[in-house]
Amino acid sequence: MTDTTPIAIEVKDVQKIYKLYTHRRDRLTEALGLTRKVKHHDHYALRGVSMKIHQGECVGIIGTNGSGKSTILKIITGVLTPSSGTVTVNGRISALLELGAGFNPEYNGIENIYLNGTMIGFTKEEIDAKLQDILDFADIGEYVYQPVKTYSSGMFVRLAFAVSINIDPEILIVDEALSVGDVFFQAKCYHKFEEFKKQGKTILFVSHDLSSISKYCDRVVLLNKGTLLGEGTPKEMIDTYKRVLVGQYEIPETKEGESLLDDEEIRASAAQSADQKIGGTEMSGVNPDTLEYGSKKAEITECYLTDDQGVKSSAIMKGQDYTIHMKVQFTQDCAAPIFAYTVKNIKGTEITGTNTMVEKAFLEPVKAGAQKEITFTQRMNLQGGEYLLSFGVTGYEGEDFTVYHRLYDAINVTVISDKNTVGFYDAESVVTVKDVAPKKRKIVPYRADA
């Protein structure tokens, strides 16, 4: 996009402040002027956010929970009013925020299509022209003639999504809405999303799915605690976001010159994301339901991942090198400890893993009091998605296999990918396509005596 490309959405210095009260009665006494004492404290959902989105751009917004992503979308769509600042929108918006929010449960599917379409601003004739497309996309059959209160949750969101996506908007705003329904319907949703991109429509896309952000967005905006940290290419902003998650990114200074790093709430949140504990073990991206057991002759005291830049992160780009780290403290002598890790998908299927015995990397005795740091470095070839990492320290005492310490499903790992192939792994195929000249047919002369 160039500076001469028309602007679809312009946000100028927008702030959204909520008044928070300790007790319900405080709101009433303050509203009625029964006390001169301030009974509330201000919570900034957004702090002076400004951005421009040009026509035909696909812009993603990322950030941790509570960063203001959904708030800025609701302000742009007019659901919320900003405390200060302005928003200018040039074009008709379709917003996939809270699917089905305008549906009447007593009406059937057809009646709700007309109700929702009318609320958006369409005439009956315009809805008539779109009706078949909506019904085909939702694909809920004869249920469309039944009251929506009888629908399953999947059928409900299919119909709501079909209405929102088929009204031919100039600007599409999506908030975590592309993962509705079953896998086949999700594929249909993403296909429609790609159609919108090809048609040059403006798209504003909020998602925790960094793979989708990387694949679809031209530009990404990063929010944290209501503050705009930066904007740039998907790779730049995802890398910065990974640093925010582990507290290794310096928050820029505010206009008043006061660094937001001095905000204890932000520091505490960053520290909690960076280092959490299971028992005595420091973790990054920790699973609170980790299963832990073992004799504790050796104990895993720390485990985490680093990306190809050596930065702690639980989000790794597909195709990049990364390192798994574990530190182990020995409380007793161990003849030949084995250090291991395993990767599972979220369904619990073990996908890969290895250990120091298999790799022939360490086959030595260790004395009590020693501490070892073990690293496994490899290329990330898993498909984009969520995975769980387990750790273990085991060994043989005589002929008996002994578990010293195991941590099952300890760390969540997010693989960010803009190209997923079939199965668990990418085979990293090198593809070539070339023309092949047709073979010339050999003409055998006819012989009458043959």
Q: If 0-12 CB within 10 Å is exposed, 13-18 middle and 19+ buried, where does residue 156 land? A: buried
- The band of 282, judged by pLDDT with boundaries at 50, 70 and 90, is low
Rounded to whole angstroms, the maximal C-alpha distance in the chain is: 122
- The band of 348, judged by pLDDT with boundaries at 50, 70 and 90, is confident
Q: Which two three-digit tokens encode residue 109?
A: 């599917």
188-214 average pLDDT score:
81
| Beta-bridge partner residues of 42 | 19
**Residue 450 has what pLDDT?**
56
Q: Which two three-digit tokens encode residue 356?
A: 């120091």
What is the amino acid identity at position 66? Answer: G
Residues 202 and 76: their CA atoms lie apart, in Å, by: 13
Place of tokens 């769509």: 77
Into how many domains does the chain fold? 1
Please state, in angstroms and as integers, the Cα–Cα distance from residue 69 to each residue in 76, 135, 204, 221, following that order. 11, 31, 11, 10
| Residue 384 belongs to domain spanning | 277-416
Poorest-confidence range of 40-44, 78-82, 393-397?
40-44
C-alpha gyration radius of the chain: 28
- The band of 104, judged by pLDDT with boundaries at 50, 70 and 90, is confident
Q: H helices within 77-180, ranges in order? A: 109-120, 124-138, 153-165
Please name which of 334, 322, 330, 337 lies closest in space to residue 411, comparing C-alpha atoms.
322
| Beta-bridge partner residues of 302 | 282, 327
Query: pLDDT per residue over 332-344, tens digit each?
Result: 999 999 999 999 9
DSSP of 286-333: B-TT-EEES--SEEEEEEEEE-TTS-B-SEEETTSEEEEEEEEEESS-
**Residue 356 has what pLDDT?**
94
Q: Which two three-digit tokens encode residue 301?
A: 């005291």
Per residue, the 3-state secondary structure of 405-430, as one string, reads EEEEEEEEEEEECCCCCCCCECCCCC
- Strands 93-96 and 400-416, sheet pairing: unpaired
CA triple 314-318-321, angle to 5 deg:
75
Residues 313 and 375: their CA atoms lie apart, in Å, by: 15
**Residue 313 has what pLDDT?**
87
Domain assignment present for residue 388? The answer is: yes
Residues 299 and 293: their CA atoms lie apart, in Å, by: 10
Domain assignment present for residue 53? The answer is: no
445: pLDDT strictly greater than 80: no
Q: Report the CATH number that the domain containing residue 361 is assigned in CATH.
A: 2.70.50.60
Please state, in angstroms and as integers, the Cα–Cα distance from residue 196 to each residue in 52, 117, 172, following that order. 20, 19, 8
Domain assignment present for residue 75? The answer is: no
Place of tokens 């302000």: 75
Please name which of 220, 238, 161, 157 lies closest in space to residue 193, comparing C-alpha atoms.
161
Residues 433 and 192: their CA atoms lie apart, in Å, by: 29
Q: Which residues of 230-268 are buried (b: 16+ CB within 10 A; e: fewer)?
A: ebeebeebbbbbbbbbbbebebeeeeeeeebeeeeebee
389-405 average pLDDT score:
91
Domain assignment present for residue 216? The answer is: no
Query: pLDDT per residue over 371-384, tens digit each?
Result: 999 999 999 999 88
**Residue 215 has what pLDDT?**
78
Domain assignment present for residue 173? The answer is: no
Domain assignment present for residue 334? The answer is: yes
389: pLDDT strictly greater than 80: yes
**Roughly how many angstroms between the first and final C-alpha of the chain, as a whole number?**
74
- Residues 97/177, Cβ–Cβ less than 8 Å: yes
263: pLDDT strictly greater than 50: no
Calculate the CA 16 to chain-centre distance: 24
Domain assignment present for residue 68? The answer is: no
Domain assignment present for residue 379? The answer is: yes
| H/E element, 273 | helix 264-274
Q: Which residues contact 443 (CB under 8 A, 6 or more apart)?
A: none
- The band of 101, judged by pLDDT with boundaries at 50, 70 and 90, is low
**Residue 25 has what pLDDT?**
76
Q: What whole-number percentage of the chain has pLDDT above 90?
A: 29
- Residues 40/26, Cβ–Cβ less than 8 Å: yes
